[in-house]
Amino acid sequence: MLRSWFGNDKDTERSVAGRTKRDQSKVDNATGKFALYHYESCWFCQRVRSTIERLELSIELRDIHLNPENHRRLLAEGGSGTVPCLHIERDDGCFAWLYESSDICKYLEERFGQGLNGH
Ligand SMILES: N[C@@H](CCC(=O)N[C@@H](CS)C(=O)NCC(=O)O)C(=O)O
Protein backbone atom coordinates (compact mmCIF):
# COMPACT_ATOMS: atom_id res chain seq x y z
CA MET A 1 0.00 0.00 0.00
CA LEU A 2 2.63 2.53 1.05
CA ARG A 3 4.77 1.47 -1.90
CA SER A 4 2.38 3.02 -4.39
CA TRP A 5 2.42 6.36 -2.53
CA PHE A 6 6.15 6.53 -2.85
CA GLY A 7 6.00 5.72 -6.53
CA ASN A 8 6.86 2.30 -7.74
CA ASP A 9 6.84 3.62 -11.30
CA LYS A 10 10.46 4.05 -12.42
CA ASP A 11 9.55 6.83 -14.81
CA THR A 12 8.19 9.08 -12.07
CA GLU A 13 11.17 8.62 -9.73
CA ARG A 14 13.16 11.81 -9.61
CA SER A 15 16.87 12.39 -9.31
CA VAL A 16 18.39 14.87 -6.86
CA ALA A 17 18.15 17.46 -9.65
CA GLY A 18 14.39 16.78 -9.80
CA ARG A 19 14.35 15.03 -13.18
CA THR A 20 12.57 11.85 -14.13
CA LYS A 21 14.72 9.24 -15.85
CA ARG A 22 13.23 10.25 -19.17
CA ASP A 23 14.06 13.94 -18.59
CA GLN A 24 17.56 13.01 -17.44
CA SER A 25 18.12 11.08 -20.61
CA LYS A 26 17.06 14.11 -22.72
CA VAL A 27 19.46 16.28 -20.74
CA ASP A 28 22.24 13.71 -21.17
CA ASN A 29 21.64 13.73 -24.94
CA ALA A 30 22.00 17.50 -25.06
CA THR A 31 25.08 17.71 -22.84
CA GLY A 32 26.70 14.75 -24.62
CA LYS A 33 27.82 17.28 -27.20
CA PHE A 34 29.25 19.76 -24.70
CA ALA A 35 32.84 19.98 -23.50
CA LEU A 36 34.29 22.12 -20.73
CA TYR A 37 37.85 23.34 -21.31
CA HIS A 38 39.41 23.80 -17.89
CA TYR A 39 42.23 22.90 -15.57
CA GLU A 40 42.13 21.51 -12.08
CA SER A 41 43.50 24.35 -9.94
CA CYS A 42 41.65 27.18 -11.73
CA TRP A 43 39.13 28.73 -9.32
CA PHE A 44 36.82 29.96 -12.10
CA CYS A 45 36.78 26.44 -13.56
CA GLN A 46 35.98 25.02 -10.13
CA ARG A 47 32.96 27.30 -9.96
CA VAL A 48 31.65 25.90 -13.26
CA ARG A 49 32.45 22.30 -12.28
CA SER A 50 30.43 22.79 -9.06
CA THR A 51 27.43 24.01 -11.07
CA ILE A 52 27.76 21.02 -13.40
CA GLU A 53 27.84 18.71 -10.40
CA ARG A 54 24.90 20.36 -8.64
CA LEU A 55 22.76 20.22 -11.78
CA GLU A 56 23.83 16.58 -12.32
CA LEU A 57 25.06 17.15 -15.84
CA SER A 58 27.30 14.83 -17.82
CA ILE A 59 29.76 17.10 -19.55
CA GLU A 60 33.11 16.02 -20.93
CA LEU A 61 36.01 17.78 -19.20
CA ARG A 62 38.99 18.74 -21.37
CA ASP A 63 41.99 19.69 -19.25
CA ILE A 64 44.25 22.13 -21.11
CA HIS A 65 47.29 21.46 -18.91
CA LEU A 66 47.16 17.68 -19.02
CA ASN A 67 46.55 17.64 -22.76
CA PRO A 68 48.26 20.31 -24.90
CA GLU A 69 46.01 19.40 -27.83
CA ASN A 70 43.04 20.70 -25.82
CA HIS A 71 44.81 24.00 -25.29
CA ARG A 72 45.77 24.24 -28.97
CA ARG A 73 42.20 23.59 -30.03
CA LEU A 74 40.74 26.09 -27.56
CA LEU A 75 43.06 28.80 -28.86
CA ALA A 76 42.65 27.98 -32.53
CA GLU A 77 38.91 27.39 -32.62
CA GLY A 78 37.62 29.32 -29.61
CA GLY A 79 39.84 32.34 -30.24
CA SER A 80 41.26 32.62 -26.71
CA GLY A 81 43.14 30.28 -24.37
CA THR A 82 41.26 31.49 -21.28
CA VAL A 83 39.47 28.89 -19.19
CA PRO A 84 36.81 27.99 -18.34
CA CYS A 85 35.23 27.77 -21.76
CA LEU A 86 32.20 25.68 -22.63
CA HIS A 87 32.04 24.27 -26.14
CA ILE A 88 28.38 23.83 -27.04
CA GLU A 89 27.28 21.84 -30.05
CA ARG A 90 23.69 21.52 -31.15
CA ASP A 91 21.99 18.72 -33.08
CA ASP A 92 22.02 20.81 -36.26
CA GLY A 93 25.81 21.05 -36.06
CA CYS A 94 25.91 24.73 -34.98
CA PHE A 95 28.35 25.35 -32.19
CA ALA A 96 29.50 28.08 -29.82
CA TRP A 97 32.45 28.73 -27.52
CA LEU A 98 31.12 30.24 -24.31
CA TYR A 99 33.71 32.01 -22.13
CA GLU A 100 33.32 33.61 -18.66
CA SER A 101 32.46 31.41 -15.69
CA SER A 102 29.43 33.51 -14.70
CA ASP A 103 27.99 33.33 -18.23
CA ILE A 104 28.58 29.57 -18.39
CA CYS A 105 26.90 29.00 -15.00
CA LYS A 106 23.99 31.23 -15.99
CA TYR A 107 23.54 29.38 -19.29
CA LEU A 108 23.57 25.97 -17.58
CA GLU A 109 21.18 27.14 -14.84
CA GLU A 110 18.73 28.60 -17.34
CA ARG A 111 18.81 25.63 -19.66
CA PHE A 112 18.94 22.73 -17.18
CA GLY A 113 18.13 24.12 -13.72
CA GLN A 114 14.32 24.15 -13.75
CA GLY A 115 13.98 20.68 -12.24
CA LEU A 116 15.66 21.89 -9.07
CA ASN A 117 12.70 24.17 -8.34
CA GLY A 118 10.28 21.29 -8.29
CA HIS A 119 9.15 21.17 -11.92
N1 LIG B 1 36.57 36.36 -15.90
C2 LIG B 1 37.01 35.04 -16.27
C3 LIG B 1 38.39 34.80 -15.69
C4 LIG B 1 39.01 33.52 -16.23
C5 LIG B 1 40.51 33.46 -15.97
O6 LIG B 1 41.12 34.43 -15.50
N7 LIG B 1 41.09 32.29 -16.23
C8 LIG B 1 42.50 32.12 -16.08
C9 LIG B 1 42.80 30.83 -15.33
S10 LIG B 1 42.19 30.90 -13.65
C11 LIG B 1 43.13 31.94 -17.46
O12 LIG B 1 42.67 31.15 -18.27
N13 LIG B 1 44.20 32.71 -17.72
C14 LIG B 1 44.97 32.56 -18.95
C15 LIG B 1 44.49 33.40 -20.08
O16 LIG B 1 43.58 34.24 -19.89
O17 LIG B 1 44.97 33.20 -21.19
C18 LIG B 1 35.98 34.01 -15.80
O19 LIG B 1 35.24 34.31 -14.85
O20 LIG B 1 35.88 32.93 -16.39
pLDDT (tens digit, 9 = 90+) per residue, 80-98? Answer: 999 999 999 988 989 999 9
Q: Is the pLDDT of residue 6 over 80?
A: no
In CATH, the architecture of 2-112 is 3-Layer(aba) Sandwich (3.40)
Cα(27) to centroid of ligand 1, in Å?
A: 28
pLDDT at 116 over 80: no
What is the rounded CA–CA span in Å between residue 64 and residue 88?
17
Measured by CA distance, the residue closest to atom 1 of ligand 1 is 100
3 state SS of 119: coil
Q: What is residue 115's predicted lDDT score, i.e. its pLDDT?
A: 56
Mean pLDDT of 25-51: 97
* pLDDT classification of 40: cutoffs 50, 70, 90: very high
Residue nearest to atom 14 of ligand 1 (CA): 82
Name which of 77, 60, 47 is nearest 69 in CA terms: 77
Give me the pLDDT at residue 118, please.
Answer: 39
